[in-house]
Amino acid sequence: MDNGFVGAGILEVITESLYDKPIVVFREYIQNAADSFCETNTDRTKLAAHMWLLNDCLYFLDNGAGIDREVFQKKMIRIAGSTKVRGQNIGYKGIGRLSGLPYCRNLVFYNIVNYKKGQFQKYEISGEKYEIAKKRDDFSSLSFEDLMNTIGSASEDPDPEVVFDIINGHKELFEYRNTGFLVCMENISTVLKNTIQEKDFFDQLNWLLPVPFREELLKDNNYSELFSELGGIGSVQKTDPVAARSYNVFFDGKPLYRPLATEMFRTYLCKCELQKYAVCVYAFSNKKVAMDKSNPFSGIRIYFDNMLLCDENELIPALQHYGFTNHGLYELIQSVRGMGAVIYVVDKVSISTNARRTFIDVTDSDSLEFLQLLGEFVENIYQVRYALSAYYSQKKRNIKNDEKVLVLKLEAEEALKRLAREELVLDSDSELEHDYEALTDIEKKKAVKSRITKEIKSLITRYLTEVQDLDIETCISDFKKWMLSIDN
Amino acid sequence: MAYKNPIPSLDSSSRNTQRTGGLSDYVKCENVFFAFIDVLGFKQTFDEHKDVKTEFANKYSHSFKFFSYLIENTKFISKGVRETECSAGQTSDSLYFYTKRIDFLLDFIQLYSYFNLYAMSENVFFRGGIAKGNLFINTPYQFYGDSVIGAYLLESKIAKNPRIVIDESTFNSLQELNAQETEKIINFDGSRHYIMPFSNYNKEKLRSIMSSPLFEFPRIDYNKIRQNLEDNRKRYEFDDSTYAKYGYLLSELNKFENT
């Protein structure tokens, strides 16, 4: 922030709360690289981010726009002073660059001002000095800027040979580009090392980062149209509403690709618009909706700017919390893991992420409506699961009872068709209300009850979001007072 | 064109009702039997008769018309492609037929065997292939896929003689369906299965394929076939490849008449 006092303790909050999982380091630095790509006018095929591990040091190098020489140092010591604009860029609030600090001894940033002329700028944050500073008596009264001046050091003219030595193996990035950014995490922690050494680490990166779809999907006659629509590597447009905008990202020289493959797509692959908010691509079977551990395309993954936000482990509890599902947690998780879905948020004005970037920011009617749509989607999966199960078990059990089997078959087919709709809309009672005058008294009461229930449900959800102090003893009268206040 | 979701149902097999998108709305079908049948010597005949009146072409026209007449009156074509998932037609000098149903394929082969005899009596000879594979279909007459390529290659590269060669998948499917009937019309030459150019046909059995039980099948004149074969062999005595083809047919005819 440019105004007001920001204490040194914020660094602890940032490093220990916001970025408490090692894998987020990769997300944050690639997000910064992707943002810098958006600031160039270069054909995206010539832009790339390389990550590599060498001698216990983890490096992130990109050939994006870098940072203006005049403002580099200022940016390094400021917090949340980002010029990134919410809704337009991936990361914002200007704090992502510090995500590596809990996981290394030294965090070094090199701004590549002019590669060909060997002009660089450097800013280094010493983890050791930070540990010492935290023990100071006056630590709590230190400003963030003072802290950074204590633990950080800048150089306008670092030895270019040192930089060239580090990035020598990645010269090709600068064949057509002259600027970029390099992050060096020196002496990474054991926790981060262990994460990198995990068997599925590379796959985790493939699912996490904004990387392209495999070429087979872009060439397959069945799917090329779909995956080209979702996005691929092409020319950069700042206002491009591409759902799955991707970048060339490499780890240890290996290119990363979204791990989707045709053999994962079960019987059907469908695409569905979640109104204006998101587009969903999902695969399901017409035989059963059941977990298959051999198929990695399972469950629901939600992406924001093609960066993994969360999966069903966060989504389903949220749906329960906001009252968008009445089913049990584990049966829903089992249901959604019997198919696979990737959901790309496309409306970044209406939908934003929380500060930890682990879920959407549920603060207004748009985010609630989006959650409600997700709830509807999950409900459709749940219905298909049980409809298919009922049909096939009845069919197997009782061949003579054709009528019952036929009814179950029709229900299962209806559930399948509902799941395969190209646009998800929330059910409305408008049809019932249209014929309201023609209804019997009982039907009128049912219609009124349905409308009131829906409205109350929506109000309760809003109430629980807006009001912080909740008292179980007075909750009903508090709720009534609140309703009156919003009516005024 | 935007991606179109497939229409799910409980009866569809793996991804066989999936729309492919692209400029046209081709639907991918898997496990389709595709028959590609080409007229033998069509180009050569036309080249030889460039400067004369077109009576020579009448025999082709007559044969193609008879094929259409037969096919259109079968149950599997007359009911419509939506119901039976079969289609047949003619393009230039070739005939084609495709179906997902092995029983319809067997019906077609039996009917074709009869038709082939009739065509030979009219001095028209065919060579072809039947293969199993994918077929991308837009309208019933706009298609492409592995099955078409396979059938074409069987016809152009493998059959050599005037016969219909079938691929192993198709043969296995026919065997599974009805080994006895298959044995009556399919032979094996040591490396390839093929439809026997000469086999007994049963009018009652053929009528069961047709939409009308009263359908009349013209009698086959085997003497005329023999005459045509001998005349052609004599005519192409110095064209080694063509000579061998008619020699092959004569040999098959002799085998048939001696059994």
Cβ-nearest to A226 among B12, B14, B21: B21
Tell me, what's the pLDDT at A429? Answer: 46
Tell me, what's the pLDDT at B79? Answer: 65
Residue-wise pLDDT for B94-137, tens only, equals 899 999 888 889 999 999 999 999 999 999 999 999 999 998 88
Nearest CA in chain A to B27: A222
Tell me, what's the pLDDT at A147? Answer: 85
Residue-wise pLDDT for A128-138, tens only, equals 888 888 888 88
A206 by Cβ neighbours in 10 Å (0-12 / 13-18 / 19+) ranks as buried
Tell me, what's the pLDDT at A396? Answer: 77
Cβ–Cβ contacts within 10 Å for residue A165, how many? 10
CB distance B59 to B46 below 8 Å: no
pLDDT at A93 over 60: no
B5 and A222: CB-CB below 8 Å?
A: no
Q: Give B-chain residues touching A409 at CB under 8 angstroms.
A: 10
B8 and A286: CB-CB below 8 Å?
A: yes
Find all residues with CB under 8 Å of A57, minimum gap 6, and list them: A184, A185, A186, A187, A188
Tell me, what's the pLDDT at B87? Answer: 85
Q: What percent of chain A has pLDDT over 70?
A: 88
Q: How far is B85 from chain A (nearest CA, A)?
A: 20
Q: Best mutation site among A228, A229, A267 for testing chain B: the one with the most B CBs within 10 Å?
A: A267
Q: Best mutation site among A268, A281, A284 for testing chain B: the one with the most B CBs within 10 Å?
A: A268
- Answer whether 0.80 is exceeded by the pTM: no
Mean pLDDT of A26-42: 90
- For chain A, what is the largest distance between any 2 Cα atoms, rounded to a whole number of angstroms? 86
Tokens of residue A287, six digits: 């035989």
B15 and A265: CB-CB below 8 Å?
A: yes
CB distance A453 to A360 below 8 Å: no
d(CA B198, CA B213): 24
CB distance B19 to B27 below 8 Å: yes
A271 and B1: CB-CB below 8 Å?
A: no
pLDDT at A237 over 50: no
Helix (H) or strand (E) holding B106: helix B102-121
Side-chain-side CA neighbours of B37 within 13 Å: the count stands at 27
Tell me, what's the pLDDT at B247? Answer: 93
ipTM of the complex: 0.71
Helix (H) or strand (E) holding B256: helix B240-258
A422 or A10, greater pLDDT: A422
Tokens of residue A176, six digits: 């057509």
Cβ–Cβ contacts within 10 Å for residue A44, how many? 20
Band (pLDDT 50/70/90 cuts) for residue B54 is low
